[in-house]
Structure 1
């Protein structure tokens, strides 16, 4: 088959139109580069916008509204009859939100004069980019000075367990099921697993949440993780931690799947209508022409240097493709940084000050070092806690029954903020202030002495900072601690 060539060489070809790829393309256009973006799917925005971050947050908001309606009497309101829902409409709203934002990204491409080519892109031996149309047809070759690989990732499974899209599903199927399952086993209690547990339990599904580590959200502060576990169990989720999934039995005539577990107490079987795999993400490294050029992925990830450059000249990679943290906002920041390195505008690597957010019920957010991680590094730390039960805003909103907490970790000597862990309403919004404080190298005094509006949830950040050094105004009892490691 013959190939067509693009009219002129581009400064940059980006393969992948998710948050990392389209953010990089826009930044490159701002820097006066001629940019082409290659996307295999019909819609721009990647998994995050179409099948991840955005539609799941729409679903979780709908679950939140349902929970509020079920608590109407607590607010002096009366709902006659049982609160009901239309499952098709619930799913349709989520899909509509995703579609609207995908259209918005396409508009950004036009505004920034970025050429978009739909098809599957791969590197050629001459380090051009060949694009094969998704529906077949004549490939075209794009000549360019730089290539940015931003192909994202996909859900992975456990050895011996196949995601069939029917009984054993991934997050993609989980957010658009035609009927709500009566029972669901979720394998993996990271952010994705916990969010789906929160969503489905709100709508009445019997949910079992499985995790191989000793806590839900294994990367989070153990104190916060335990509070979340209590909240999940209060919502009816059965949580199993420290368990090993041995296998999943399904069959064409089975109406349920059987999950086989091994734990300290022996072996256990769980039956459910569906099994959702949420054990992590692997990078989309296949069919990019990398191996022919001597570039190989290790455990689903490519190796890059501090400039996001691979070992191939002028070929860069970002996002899920290069491994953890595999977050949309990290990919976007990496894409912008990579482009600025290409243009000679950046001289130091991207700051690793990346927040982690879980939009469960209640929300969890963190940034920087946990208390345990700081101690493991031999740091002398002070820890301040502010329970949201002491927050007037949380009480007025009816959000204090779930053990909310703002926890800040500071260096004991200079009072510099090292990290934060938050659980409670709007935790994912509150974490931004702490991230800015870390970036600006703020101290506890600067946080504690910044006047926050009252009544707000953000006052809790101020109070937690003051608590670490014994100056909190609106708390009772001992809520600060010091660890002197030598």
Structure 2
């Protein structure tokens, strides 16, 4: 029977990072992954493949709509979705093999099979052929992630009624696509099809898209996507989804209480994700779940069983790859006797549409609800020379600061490269910068990041230079 210091169940961005950090700190570490390739949802059917498809579709969109304005003549470009999917698969293959390389480099033992508890200190690995092996361990990290949620009356047939997993492997460009859910995943994958020529309609139960982000971002993104011809049906509750051959009919009630019917050749169900704990046999280890099926943990990410920890999508909090990675490092370092910390307020959120959307800290709505006295600075991207040079003039940067202390409480932006720029805001807020601190920092010209400096100037009460 093999003996380990630590076993990690799940090889997504939380699990594989935890395993690497633990091995670096001297733990004899094993990782268990039930699928043939490592990397979990993020690398195989989530973050990485979706960005590959977003980039390919954006190139096509620019060739059709924007190249001529830049003096580039392209004769009737066509979209080859088979090649796009093939390229996406190549990117995924390179990335997952990179994780395997890192396991070998850090001497992490990899087991391919389903990991389940026999006890708090024993984990069974069941392989595809039915054979199994028992591993002994001092500690366990549960990092099994999440899977797409659905609605109880929807039958996901994986052909015409699909989730994000199937949307990444479409064999044709939909003529019409209905997206149920106006969150991050629905808008990103809806954008892929929209750029390739599909008629896309987003049906959202709430009265706004990306409801978890700052309200100003929601309004601006909806305006921009509408300009790109994406349609929206907000405050609309879906009640039935039925397939008849190659046509799918969605029945819903709008905000007036009227029944409305939509038809399309594909329906993408994107109503969130749920923690994945199936097959873990948690009861054998005595690990508790909460009312939403998440593994219960304390502030140290420790379950009610002292030697078992859980991280990522399987516990409470935002379902984000980078959050899971930070949690994996935190647990490994705690086990090594270190004192790491995570500031959950400073975990950024990003939507990879074009323009990109990003935010960190508290939203204006949250701060107002808490009765916090604030001041807000805004700067439009169209006022930047760099934006006009590239043609990316949509969006803005918004900085919220405490009215008395000037400490930055939230930064929210929509615009070109917002996904990259948000790191500057995270850094500033980690060091508790004031709006004036940011306003006085030199930003290279011409760059998109100058909008952060200008928004900070506006937040201090000074007049932004270029507005």
Asked if TM exceeds 0.5, the reply is: yes
Tell me by how many angstroms 1:204 deviates.
0.5
Task: Indicate the residue corresponding to 2:281 in structure 1.
Answer: 289
Correspondence 1:122 to 2:116: yes
Task: Indicate the residue corresponding to 1:180 in structure 2.
Answer: 173
Task: Indicate the residue corresponding to 1:413 in structure 2.
Answer: 404
Tell me by how many angstroms 1:161 deviates.
1.0
Tell me by how many angstroms 1:99 deviates.
0.8
Tell me by how many angstroms 1:445 deviates.
1.6
| Cα separation, partners in 2 of 1:126 and 1:441, compared to 1, 3 Å | closer
Correspondence 1:51 to 2:45: yes
Does the CA contact (< 8 Å) of 2:379 and 2:451 recur in 1? Answer: yes
| Cα separation, partners in 2 of 1:338 and 1:144, compared to 1, 3 Å | same
**Deviations 1:386-443 (Å, cap 9, x if unpaired)?**
100111101100111x3x1000110111110101110011111111000011111111
| Cα separation, partners in 2 of 1:46 and 1:166, compared to 1, 3 Å | same
Residue aligned with 1:236, SS: coil
Aligned-residue CA RMSD (Å): 1.3
| Cα separation, partners in 2 of 1:348 and 1:45, compared to 1, 3 Å | closer
**Count of equivalent residues:** 464
Unaligned runs of 5+ in 1: 477-486
Distance in 1 separating the partners of 2:315 and 2:120:
23
Task: Indicate the residue corresponding to 1:275 in structure 2.
Answer: 267
Residue aligned with 1:124, SS: strand
Correspondence 1:463 to 2:454: yes
Tell me by how many angstroms 1:20 deviates.
0.1
Match of 1:452 among 443, 460, 463: 443
| Cα separation, partners in 2 of 1:153 and 1:60, compared to 1, 3 Å | same
Task: Indicate the residue corresponding to 1:483 in structure 2.
Answer: none
Task: Indicate the residue corresponding to 1:306 in structure 2.
Answer: 299
Unaligned runs of 5+ in 2: none
Tell me by how many angstroms 1:349 deviates.
5.3
Residue aligned with 1:143, SS: strand
Task: Indicate the residue corresponding to 2:72 in structure 1.
Answer: 77
TM-score by length of 2: 0.97
**Deviations 1:114-166 (Å, cap 9, x if unpaired)?**
11010000111353100001x22421111000000000110010121121211
Task: Indicate the residue corresponding to 1:90 in structure 2.
Answer: 84
Does the CA contact (< 8 Å) of 2:288 and 2:304 recur in 1? Answer: no
Does the CA contact (< 8 Å) of 1:247 and 1:260 recur in 2? Answer: yes
Match of 1:247 among 240, 251, 268: 240
Does the CA contact (< 8 Å) of 2:18 and 2:325 recur in 1? Answer: yes
Which residues in structure 2 correspond to 1:210-289 (within 5 Å)?
210-251=203-244, 254-265=245-256, 266-289=258-281
Task: Indicate the residue corresponding to 2:189 in structure 1.
Answer: 196
Residue aligned with 1:429, SS: helix
Does the CA contact (< 8 Å) of 2:125 and 2:133 recur in 1? Answer: yes
Moved >4 Å (runs of 4+): 347-351
Correspondence 1:378 to 2:371: yes
Distance in 2 separating the partners of 1:33 and 1:195:
39
Does the CA contact (< 8 Å) of 2:6 and 2:29 recur in 1? Answer: yes
Task: Indicate the residue corresponding to 2:29 in structure 1.
Answer: 35
Task: Indicate the residue corresponding to 2:352 in structure 1.
Answer: 359
